[in-house]
Chains A and B, each alone.
Chain A
């Protein structure tokens, strides 16, 4: 129904464009000068068609459900139901009217389901009538208004400008959405679990916080020693550290080689090949780490008499390091290439060899950019999910032994939220609290890294 209406409105828009242009041509044929190209008269009318439709549609989407609900629940208003019960009744009748209801059907619910259906159909038809009449009225008004000397280009361009501006707000809206979705659950979480216990507690065992009914949820004694995030944070940074131990030397050295030594031909092939590593989906790395690297390390360890877990931090961290190599190599390659040639020439003139120039002149000069690229790599490592979920353990161990298994923030979020979630349960909220800490940590790293790289770029440009 909505789709048909929508198509119809789009058609109306095209028609009004056509009529607007036609009117402009008629004005033109009377040898009067137009103030804008004929298309603009068309656009002008089309916009007058789109705006009322858009406004009414969005108002409808916002208010229709609330009004329908109020009307239905007004039947029950003086029967002494609680708010929750009323909500439940409403949801039940809604489900029944859609034929998705499985519970016991009482006459009450049946009656309100019928009422719901009739209200919905009234709302639908009145929407159609209102939208169409509003469009016709506004287009007719605009059609009468346009004459040879009326301005059409300026309003059209102003409108377009407003659309462009709104689109550019999408990025801010996304950030707001992220903060918004995280913050309420996080606050609720810290109402039950003290912040201190979360940040300094050393036992993480969310499965213990299984809530059987809602009265238990607010009993804080139940959660003591359950949501201590230290092992999770430690595991996250530990795995990120292992990853960087792999990624920094290899990435940095290949960046230096590509920028300073490699011939154009080698560069032409080696650079995109290395960058393929960044394009492989992380779930593929996860599979590789779990299927190949983990068992391989375990076998290797056993042959050397070491006890290695099949889900060791080393396997996850190592594979993650491989994934991060191209980030560091490309960024440091860029940074090194943008060091001015005069610095190199000066160093060579003093008799330094190429490697001495790199180590003593170029590297210090490029250091801020390189640090920035490493920070971005760290932020990636901390936020990486699939590799740890598949290859690292899911139980939180507080350990510094790379051969044992540990867990990370991201892995815990997935473990908690996979399958069905109950909002309002501290376990679910814990995932959002972890997400919040992840967001804050990566945000700080990103801001610092981006600023460092930007400052550095400005220095040499």
Chain B
């Protein structure tokens, strides 16, 4: 009998331990996913911050460039650089036949002509001389140099030919290949060529969208929260507004995209693909988030503050505007920043309103067509070229970095400026 009891107790204790273990392993799993996730993004993305350059001797032959003696600045602008660019690549292998010369040309980006031109514009004395110029390597060779390229595949399944690899290896052996920090990733707009594609255009576009979103959502949401929390009579109508806000906060984001498409574009005829429309759509989405945060922080202001102000003869409006609202601002602001961070990462509604435009210029105003950072991630992830994989990861790192900064900022505002009422 006693033994039975002990057995039962042991069993119960074991069950207890098992249960605890389940809980612990659930948390462990969740954190493991997070770690794998971040590790994967970083390990594929960090190499995008480096860019491979080929160092190629270029002879600035005045005759080939169609230049006269003592050319002016304009002459240099208009000169023909294609032939010397082609020649300097062909010179890498003196025995190359015509096909191989073509392949040599494709070892660098199509931008190489411009790079050579810039070199000369920086130093016009180079005419007639030979100088080693840094040329952007093609995205495939960039991947080869970073060790991400499956070199052992059969030749017909690769975009890089054996011949190109041979020349490239020679260059590497001679120290003519260099890897430097990839500034163009941050200063270039999107491009069809992975080695030239950058995030400047999508970055600016995200900034514009977020600004539009902030300018619309913040005032409306704060005013609405003030009304609902401080002035609204308790009746059916205000209940209805409240239910509405809570529901809107849980409506799938893509539905807001349909709203933007059906109302903003089709009825109000706003310009498609622009940060303006994107920002308005996002602002409708963040509105409930900010209202809820602002209401919560208004509610947290103790009634004694209001009573004191009212007792001094302030009207209700004065009490609210001079005392309650300023005291609630830290909470409201941090809620706003968190809402904006959500909006910054949103993709689906922007795709529907056409913000998937291919943009190779940096937008200068909210009325220029563009694609925001998350949409840029989507566009690059959908393209087949190998060089874009690391770009996507790098773009994700930039986006995540931004989100982390915004969230930290929200935390700091909350902890530094919020009054603790005890």
Contacts and interface: CB of A to CB of B under 8 A. Distances in A.
Interface in A419-461: 419, 421, 423, 431-432, 435, 438-439, 442-443, 446-447, 449-450
B247 A170 contact: no
Interface residues of A, number: 90
B224 A167 contact: yes
Interface stretch (A6-14, A108-116, A256-264, A297-305): A256-264
B12 A356 contact: yes
Interface of A: 153, 157, 160-161, 163-165, 167-172, 174-175, 177-178, 180-182, 184-185, 249-254, 256-258, 260-262, 270, 273-274, 276-277, 279-284, 286-288, 290-292, 322, 325-326, 329, 353-356, 358-359, 376, 379-380, 382-386, 389-390, 410, 413-414, 417-419, 421, 423, 431-432, 435, 438-439, 442-443, 446-447, 449-450
Interface in B1-55: 12-13, 15-16, 18-20, 22-27, 29-31, 33-34, 37, 40-41, 44
B111 to A, nearest CB: 27
A173 to B, nearest CB: 9
Contacts of A413: 254, 258, 352
Q: In the complex, which of the residues B15, B40, B252 has the most CB atoms of chain A within 10 Å of its own CB atom?
A: B252
Nearest to A256: B23
Contacts of A322: 30, 33, 37
Contacts of B246: 446, 450
13 contacts: A164-B227, A167-B223, A171-B291, A181-B258, A181-B262, A283-B345, A284-B374, A288-B40, A291-B44, A354-B20, A385-B254, A386-B378, A450-B246
Contact of A353 (B13, B244, B287, B352): B13
Interface in B369-391: 374-375, 377-378, 381-382, 389
Contact of A178 (B15, B37, B259): B259
Given A157-B315, A284-B400, A383 B262 contact: no
Contact of B399 (A165, A261, A284, A435): A284
Contact of B262 (A185, A251, A326, A390): A185
Contact of B29 (A250, A260, A326, A358): A250
A40 B381 CA distance: 57
Contacts of A280: 37, 345, 400, 403
A276 B348 CA distance: 20
A364 to B, nearest CB: 16
A435 B26 contact: no
B341 interface: yes
B172 interface: no
A281 B403 contact: yes
A181 B261 contact: yes
Contact of A287 (B15, B31, B226, B381): B381
B252 A384 contact: yes
B250 A442 contact: yes
A183 to B, nearest CB: 9
B287 A257 contact: no
Contacts of B23: 253-254, 256-257, 260-261
A172 B241 contact: yes
Nearest to A410: B254
A355 B15 contact: yes
A288 B37 contact: yes
Nearest to A278: B342
Contact of B261 (A384, A386, A421): A421
Given A171-B244, A171-B245, A383-B253, A435 B381 contact: no
B351 interface: yes
Contact of A281 (B20, B226, B399): B399
Nearest to B219: A167
